[in-house]
């Protein structure tokens, strides 16, 4: 029986003591207890329907001779405000009239430049068909538009003769398509005239913001409120007439033009200027608002208002948001809740939820502003026209609470005033704000931060029955259009009594909830007072990977003394806890949680937070230092050397030493002040001594000629200092180091050769040319006294590196941008001699101006220029469009090396440059002879090209045998067709980790990112020739990888990768069911047949072999001789039947398309392996034919149906 494949990943914790002897043996993973599951629940939604009164159909009969042309310039609001009796008869017809409203500035004008004029008005009678008639007035389109722009809106006024009623309603009869009939609706209600025979101004607009609002002439008539007709009540609300600035000064100054009965709209302040902007170029406008009634089907009905999409959007940008306001008539309750009914795409059904609660109304019949936003950060948030209604809190409904938070409140504002948030910035006890930029300043510019977070309040419960108030944050609707300069973070408040010490932790859960990632988002947060919001460092943008349930994360707050974890038990100091995270579909994930020290909250490197730099970010190309250094000491002791990211203290954590349940952490010497970076650590296996390298974190910025302090330190396994050496870093006989550089270094110890090699990138001391150059060197050290034996430059400039001990010396790989440009593989002897070759190179961005910085002028580079971009024949490109895996190279049993990387394809097309990310990053490999790096053994794509250097010289480039393993496209891994510049939708492979298994196959674990954010973690398995054994497979867990840390081997077929999950030090173990016993064969792969008389190798494809008769296949598969390609048995493993379970990419499978199902263009295993659409449905299908089998039988590798042996 073949053994299972185990992949182990580590992630962080702490303690201190001396070390006993080590434990030995492979863990019994199958016996480890399961991780805790969590559930997130919200109240069941109420289902409702929305109804409005049926419109009355009435007839209008004009009175002969009772018409008049109203100028629209005779009466103004300014005049009538001073004296209501001062009415100009030119603009009245009996009991109705028009007047020019005041401009928002408060002044009035009837100048032709600023006014609509000449409204033909006709008096007549309306008949409702039941014998009732009403005096009515038809008002036609104005004949003349303003010559310049409208300054104030023309509105309706009316008078009542005789005894007055308590109040009146103005109805509007709108023409229907049924010729001569009109549909009736309420235009304004509750109008109270002051005196009989005196005109009263209404808010009914006849012209609106320069647009005529009287299409197909409407008819108006007035009725006492106690004689009200049953008619719909709807109105188009401008949205910017009422301003927060005005209403804060005078809450009664509501312009009823932007209200419908008890509901209205207002425009909030623009946060950047703390002022209000009513202009249309800064506003959404024209919200069709309709009054109606919600019915929950259980005998409960609620007065409600449907608010449609705004018909207009800002021409420039949105300065302030449009919010809801409401009023209450009659006696007041202590507080009120605003409910929102959202369409459910099920006919007339709506789902009710809470959008704001606890609103205090100070005065009856007075509008109160809410935090309910209808537009957020320039995006409409009222899809499918939601419905709002208000209830007293003592009549509250049990419904979900959710709200879209714009996330535009900035940290600088909160620092100045911790109460500066508005209702729209928070949901209950949860809020989102924008943190400061790296320079300490703040920005709310949406181009540089995430926005529009849908937040849902609920409750988290673990399987032990513990419950916590929690908030689910969905992936934001808005992502930065430029880059992310600021993080979106969480703030919270505590209602009720504070716990002793008033310290709290923010917990974060990422799905799936059956085996979630539970981490500490922020810890030991001091809360000064109950009910007061406090800011945290817990990040909510981006909130999580696209696991089951979507891009979401769940946050809840607990007292710091409450240790919340998903692990079977919370690890105490010096101990570890074992857990099974999941085991399903041939993939199992196990974990060892290493003891978290409770006295001090340590902060190891967190891959999800620290250096969370996207691939399109400027800093991504320069790499990042390695942060976790797995070591194996005496008697197989397993340890990790790591550095705290806050104190910068350095520790070693030993695992299972003396006791299988132990996790012992020791602080290491020579960095008690935290002044140094840890830039490499390695152990010696005889007695467990550890050597590590320290580099001063800060260079003398005022003196570019200064040398930096660098130390080599040696301690025993208990952390006791043996020796320390301060390196000569001068440029006169020393190793020439002025400053730390982000790509940093790697350390290797060749015990058989008594040599330590430090591969280190840094900035040089300033040279004679006036520059501090960057370069990678190999520094050889004597393991005894740590003196420098030699120093040699390897590459200039270098953005990534890796070195291992190998035989009689060292093997290395690094990523250079110029000298040389490419992945540079080297063999280094203990004496310092170097033999190397570039095994993969990449495209180059050329100058976009004719003149380079040195003043030289060059011609156009016609071959890569186009209509959109002109390039010139010079370059100075620091970008490498490539990322090396870690380890970057693997030694195989056939004396070869496989180099794994992520790059942009086609690799040498220099026209596709200009950004840090130009094409999706895909995984590629190249295989070379371990004794001759120029001898390429892989059979892949060859490419030639080149670039013009800084001085205009041509530099040729060539790639041989490059095999592209993944097929991510600009359409999101082939799933969708999107524009090539929509990088936020791309899939990119990054943070690659590699390991060789005992059967010769290679595991690649990697993260998938968009241009800026993490999406998911995947793995794949390839054979020694680059053939895919296990296609890219999603790991259903938020498994995060440190950017440039290498994988190492532990146990049997176990790959260890070190990281940190934000809660504790953990070692993850991935078990790949069938990983060693399955094969994936490509029909185009070629195998060695013979060498002809001319010395040329003859090869044939696996597809050719598969068509042969059985005897010829057996004969070919029995041969063992190989050339630059492998023998048939090594290349065509499925055809040769040398693996228990496999598939061939050209093998056809059933089903054929049938009626009602999606038509499939292809039905071969290769198509199935490359698609993400319907793969589960296809693999589960039992349909087959006489000639074609089921996909799960024909394509068992892709379908994951190989036996788990």
Write the CB contacts of 428 (distance below 8 Å, at least 6 apart in sequence).
357, 401, 457, 471
Write the CB contacts of 755 (distance below 8 Å, at least 6 apart in sequence).
749, 780, 781, 782, 783, 789, 809, 810, 830
pLDDT band for position 945 (cuts 50, 70, 90):
very high
- What was the pLDDT predicted at 590? 80
- What was the pLDDT predicted at 138? 92
Res 1058 pLDDT > 80: no
Strand 430-434 and strand 488-492: the pairing is antiparallel
Per DSSP, the chain holds a count of helices (H) and strands (E) of 10, 75
Alpha carbon distance 725, 713 (integer Å): 6
When computed from its CA atoms, the radius of gyration of the chain, rounded to whole angstroms, is 37
- What was the pLDDT predicted at 273? 77
- What was the pLDDT predicted at 745? 93
- What was the pLDDT predicted at 721? 97
Output 660 or 759, whichever has higher pLDDT.
759
3-state secondary structure of 144: strand
Alpha carbon distance 90, 75 (integer Å): 8
Alpha carbon distance 899, 889 (integer Å): 4
Res 698 pLDDT > 80: yes
Output 604 or 16, whichever has higher pLDDT.
604
Alpha carbon distance 195, 160 (integer Å): 8
> Both tokens of residue 448?
């540089």
Q: What is the DSSP letter of 1044?
A: S
Res 356 pLDDT > 80: yes
Lowest-confidence segment of 394-408, 806-820, 884-898 by average pLDDT: 394-408
- What was the pLDDT predicted at 378? 37
Q: Are 1038 and 1024 in contact (CB under 8 A)?
A: no
Torsion on CA atoms 1056, 1061, 1065, 1068, rounded to nearest 10: -30
- What was the pLDDT predicted at 1205? 40
**pLDDT single digits (tens) 32-62:** 788 888 888 887 777 777 877 776 677 888 8
- What was the pLDDT predicted at 577? 81
Lowest-confidence segment of 29-38, 412-421, 1057-1066 by average pLDDT: 1057-1066
- What was the pLDDT predicted at 1055? 67
The pTM of the full predicted model, rounded to 2 decimals, is 0.69
**pLDDT single digits (tens) 1137-1157:** 877 778 888 888 876 544 444
Lowest-confidence segment of 229-233, 785-789, 841-845 by average pLDDT: 229-233
- What was the pLDDT predicted at 2? 29
> Both tokens of residue 295?
């019915």
Share of the chain above pLDDT 70, in %: 88
- What was the pLDDT predicted at 4? 36
Determine the average pLDDT of the residues in 630-659.
86
Residue 566: HSE in the Cβ half-sphere, 13 Å Cα cutoff: 33
Q: Are 1068 and 10 in contact (CB under 8 A)?
A: yes
Determine the average pLDDT of the residues in 656-663.
72
Determine the average pLDDT of the residues in 770-778.
95
Report the residue count for the chain.
Answer: 1205
Res 550 pLDDT > 50: no
pLDDT band for position 6 (cuts 50, 70, 90):
very low
- What was the pLDDT predicted at 544? 45
Alpha carbon distance 146, 543 (integer Å): 51
Q: Which residue has the tokens 């500035």?
A: 105
- Exposure string of 1008-1018, with b = 16+ CB inside 10 Å and e = fewer, is bbbbbbbbbbb
3-state secondary structure of 932: strand
Alpha carbon distance 379, 309 (integer Å): 11
Determine the average pLDDT of the residues in 594-609.
72
Res 22 pLDDT > 50: no
Write the CB contacts of 1055 (distance below 8 Å, at least 6 apart in sequence).
6, 7, 8, 9, 993, 995, 1003, 1005, 1047, 1048, 1049, 1070
Determine the average pLDDT of the residues in 967-986.
58
Select the highest-mean-pLDDT range: 339-348, 1023-1032, 1170-1179.
Answer: 1023-1032
3-state secondary structure of 1105: helix
Q: What is the DSSP letter of 657?
A: S
pLDDT band for position 208 (cuts 50, 70, 90):
low
Asked whether the CA dihedral 878, 882, 883, 885 is positive or negative, the reply is: negative
Alpha carbon distance 314, 481 (integer Å): 18
Torsion on CA atoms 1155, 1160, 1161, 1163, rounded to nearest 10: -120
3-state secondary structure of 448: helix
Res 978 pLDDT > 50: no
Helix (H) or strand (E) holding 81: helix 77-82
Q: Which residue has the tokens 């940093």?
A: 744
Res 19 pLDDT > 70: no
Output 893 or 708, whichever has higher pLDDT.
708
φ/ψ of residue 78, rounded to 5: -65, -45
- State the average pLDDT for the chain: 84
CA 16 to chain centroid, in Å, comes to 38
Helix (H) or strand (E) holding 589: strand 587-594
Alpha carbon distance 393, 469 (integer Å): 20
Res 1074 pLDDT > 90: no
Lowest-confidence segment of 924-938, 1007-1021, 1056-1070 by average pLDDT: 1056-1070
- What was the pLDDT predicted at 597? 54
**pLDDT single digits (tens) 992-1005:** 999 888 788 899 99
**pLDDT single digits (tens) 519-548:** 888 888 999 888 889 999 888 865 444 433
Select the highest-mean-pLDDT range: 119-133, 565-579, 593-607.
Answer: 119-133
Alpha carbon distance 645, 602 (integer Å): 8
Alpha carbon distance 491, 509 (integer Å): 16
**pLDDT single digits (tens) 469-483:** 999 998 787 777 777
- What was the pLDDT predicted at 720? 96
Determine the average pLDDT of the residues in 316-326.
89
- What was the pLDDT predicted at 62? 85
Torsion on CA atoms 1068, 1074, 1079, 1080, rounded to nearest 10: -60
**pLDDT single digits (tens) 83-100:** 999 999 999 999 999 999
| Pairs from 497-504 (Cβ < 8 Å, separation ≥ 24) | 497/530, 498/527, 498/529, 498/530, 499/559, 499/561, 501/560, 501/561, 502/526, 502/527, 502/528, 503/527, 503/559, 503/560, 503/561, 504/557, 504/558, 504/559, 504/560
Nearest by Cα to 1150 from 1194, 1107, 1106: 1194
Asked whether the CA dihedral 815, 820, 821, 824 is positive or negative, the reply is: negative
Lowest-confidence segment of 159-173, 792-806, 971-985, 1032-1046 by average pLDDT: 971-985
906-to-898, 969, 999 alpha-carbon distances in Å: 20, 12, 32
Strand partners, 678: 694
**pLDDT single digits (tens) 854-886:** 999 999 999 999 998 999 999 999 999 999 999
Neighbours of 349 (CB within 10 A): 14
Neighbours of 267 (CB within 10 A): 30
- What was the pLDDT predicted at 598? 46
Cβ neighbourhood burial of 624 (10 Å; 0-12, 13-18, 19+): buried
- What was the pLDDT predicted at 883? 97
């Amino acid at each position: 029986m073949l053994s299972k494949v185990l992949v182990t990943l580590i992630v962080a914790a702490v303690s201190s003591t001396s070390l006993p002897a080590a434990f030995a043996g492979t863990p019994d993973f199958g016996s480890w207890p399961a991780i805790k599951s969590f559930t997130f629940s919200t109240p069941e939604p109420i289902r409702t329907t929305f109804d409005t009164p049926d419109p009355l159909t009435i007839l209008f009969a004009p009175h002969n001779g009772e018409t008049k042309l109203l100028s629209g310039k005779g009466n103004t609001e300014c005049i009538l405000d001073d004296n209501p009796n001062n009415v100009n008869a030119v603009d009245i017809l009996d009991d109705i009239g028009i007047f020019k409203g005041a401009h928002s500035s408060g002044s009035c004008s009837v100048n032709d430049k600023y006014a609509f004029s000449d409204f033909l008005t006709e008096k007549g009678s309306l008949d409702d068909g039941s014998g009732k008639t009403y005096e009515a007035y038809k008002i036609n389109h104005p004949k003349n538009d303003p010559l310049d722009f409208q300054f104030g809106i023309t509105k309706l006024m009316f008078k009542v003769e005789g005894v007055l009623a308590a109040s009146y309603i103005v109805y509007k009869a709108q023409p229907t398509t049924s010729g001569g009939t009109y549909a009736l609706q309420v235009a304004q209600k509750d109008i109270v005239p002051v005196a009989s025979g005196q005109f009263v101004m209404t808010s009914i607009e006849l012209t609106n913001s320069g647009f005529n609002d009287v299409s197909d002439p409407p008819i108006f008539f007035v009725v006492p409120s106690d004689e009200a007709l049953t008619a719909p009540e709807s109105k188009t609300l401008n949205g910017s007439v009422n301003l927060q600035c005005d209403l804060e000064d005078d809450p009664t100054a509501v312009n009823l033009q932007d209200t419908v009965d008890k509901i209205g709209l207002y425009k909030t302040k623009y946060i950047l200027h703390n002022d209000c902007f009513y202009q249309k170029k800064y506003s959404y406008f024209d919200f069709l608002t309709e009054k109606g009634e919600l019915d929950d089907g259980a005998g409960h009905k609620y007065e409600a208002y449907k608010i449609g999409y705004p018909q207009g959007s800002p021409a420039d940008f949105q300065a302030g948001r449009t919010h809801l306001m409401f009023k209450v008539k009659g006696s007041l309750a202590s507080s009120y809740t605003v409910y929102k009914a959202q369409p459910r795409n099920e006919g007339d059904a709506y789902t009710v939820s809470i959008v704001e609660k606890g609103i205090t109304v100070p005065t009856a019949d007075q509008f109160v502003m809410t935090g309910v936003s209808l537009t957020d950060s320039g995006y409409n948030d009222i899809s499918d026209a939601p419905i709002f209604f208000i209830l007293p809190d003592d009549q509250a409904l049990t419904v979900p609470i959710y709200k879209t938070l714009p996330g535009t409140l900035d940290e600088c504002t909160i620092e100045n005033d911790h109460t500066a948030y508005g209702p729209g910035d928070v949901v209950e006890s949860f809020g989102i704000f924008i943190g400061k930029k790296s320079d300490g300043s703040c920005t709310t510019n949406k181009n540089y931060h995430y926005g529009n977070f849908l937040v849902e309040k609920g409750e988290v419960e673990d399987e032990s029955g513990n419950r916590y108030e929690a908030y689910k944050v969905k992936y934001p609707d808005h992502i930065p259009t430029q880059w992310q300069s600021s993080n979106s973070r969480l703030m919270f408040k505590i209602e009720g009594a504070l716990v002793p010490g008033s310290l709290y932790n923010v917990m974060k859960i990422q799905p799936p909830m059956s085996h979630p990632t539970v981490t500490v988002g922020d810890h030991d947060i001091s809360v000064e007072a109950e009910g007061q919001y406090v800011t945290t460092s817990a990040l909510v943008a981006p909130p999580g990977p696209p696991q089951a349930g979507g891009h979401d994360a769940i946050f809840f707050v607990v007292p710091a003394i409450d240790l919340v974890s998903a692990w079977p038990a919370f690890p105490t100091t010096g101990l570890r806890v074992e857990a099974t995270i999941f085991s399903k579909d041939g993939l199992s994930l196990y974990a060892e949680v290493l003891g978290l020290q409770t006295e001090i909250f340590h902060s190891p490197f967190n891959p999800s937070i620290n250096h969370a730099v996207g691939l399109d970010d400027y800093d991504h190309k320069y790499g990042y230092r390695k942060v976790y250094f797995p070591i194996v000491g005496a008697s197989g002791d397993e340890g990790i050397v790591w550095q705290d990211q806050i104190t910068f203290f350095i520790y070693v954590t030993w695992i299972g030493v003396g006791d299988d349940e132990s996790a012992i952490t020791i602080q290491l010497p020579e960095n008690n002040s935290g002044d140094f970076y840890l830039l490499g650590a390695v152990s010696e296996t005889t007695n467990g001594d550890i050597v590590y390298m320290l580099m001063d974190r800060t260079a003398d910025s005022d003196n570019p000629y200064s040398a930096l302090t660098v130390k080599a330190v040696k301690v025993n396994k208990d952390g006791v200092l043996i020796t320390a050496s301060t390196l000569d870093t001068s440029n006169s006989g020393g190793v020439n180091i002025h400053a730390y550089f982000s790509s940093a270094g790697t350390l290797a110890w060749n015990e058989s050769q008594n040599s330590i090699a430090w591969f280190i990138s840094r900035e040089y001391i300033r040279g004679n040319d006036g520059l501090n150059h960057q370069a990678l060197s190999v520094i050889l050290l004597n393991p005894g006294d740590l003196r420098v034996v030699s120093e040699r430059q390897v590459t200039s400039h270098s953005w990534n590196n890796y070195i291992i001990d190998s035989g009689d010396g060292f093997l290395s790989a690094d990523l250079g941008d110029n000298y040389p440009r490419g992945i540079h593989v080297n063999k280094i002897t203990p004496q310092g001699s170097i033999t190397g070759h570039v095994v993969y190179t990449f495209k180059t961005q050329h100058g976009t101006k004719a003149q380079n910085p040195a003043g030289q002028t060059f011609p156009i580079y016609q071959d890569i220029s186009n209509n959109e971009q002109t390039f010139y024949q010079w370059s100075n490109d620091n970008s490498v469009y490539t990322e090396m895996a870690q380890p970057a190279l693997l030694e195989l049993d056939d004396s070869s090396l496989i180099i794994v990387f992520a790059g942009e394809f086609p690799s040498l097309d220099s026209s596709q440059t200009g950004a840090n990310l130009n094409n999706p990053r895909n995984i590629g490999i190249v295989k070379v002879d371990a004794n001759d790096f120029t001898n390429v053994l892989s059979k892949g794509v060859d490419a030639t090209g080149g670039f013009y250097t800084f001085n205009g010289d041509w530099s040729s480039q060539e790639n041989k045998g490059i095999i592209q393993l993944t097929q991510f496209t600009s359409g999101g891994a082939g799933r969708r067709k999107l524009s090539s510049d929509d990088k936020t939708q791309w899939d990119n492979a990054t943070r690659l980790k590699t390991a060789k298994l005992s059967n010769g196959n290679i595991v690649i674990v990697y993260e998938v990112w968009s241009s800026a954010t993490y999406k998911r973690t995947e793995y794949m398995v390839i054979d020694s020739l680059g053939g895919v054994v296990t296609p890219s497979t999603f790991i259903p867990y938020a498994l995060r990888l440190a950017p440039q840390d290498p994988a190492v081997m532990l146990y049997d077929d176990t790959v260890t990768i070190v990281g940190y999950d934000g809660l504790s030090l953990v070692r993850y173990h991935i078990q790949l069911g069938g990983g060693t016993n399955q094969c994936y064969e490509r029909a185009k792969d070629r195998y060695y047949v013979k060498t002809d008389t001319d010395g040329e190798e003859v090869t044939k494809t696996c597809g050719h072999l598969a068509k042969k008769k059985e005897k010829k296949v057996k004969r070919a598969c029995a041969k063992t001789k190989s050339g630059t390609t492998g023998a048939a048995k090594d290349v065509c493993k499925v055809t040769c039947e040398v693996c228990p379970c496999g598939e061939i990419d050209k093998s056809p499978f059933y089903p054929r398309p049938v009626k009602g199902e999606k038509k499939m263009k292809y039905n071969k295993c290769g198509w199935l392996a490359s698609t993400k659409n319907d793969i589960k449905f296809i693999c589960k299908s039992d349909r087959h034919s006489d000639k074609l089998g089921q996909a799960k039988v024909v394509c068992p590798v892709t379908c994951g149906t190989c036996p788990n042996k």
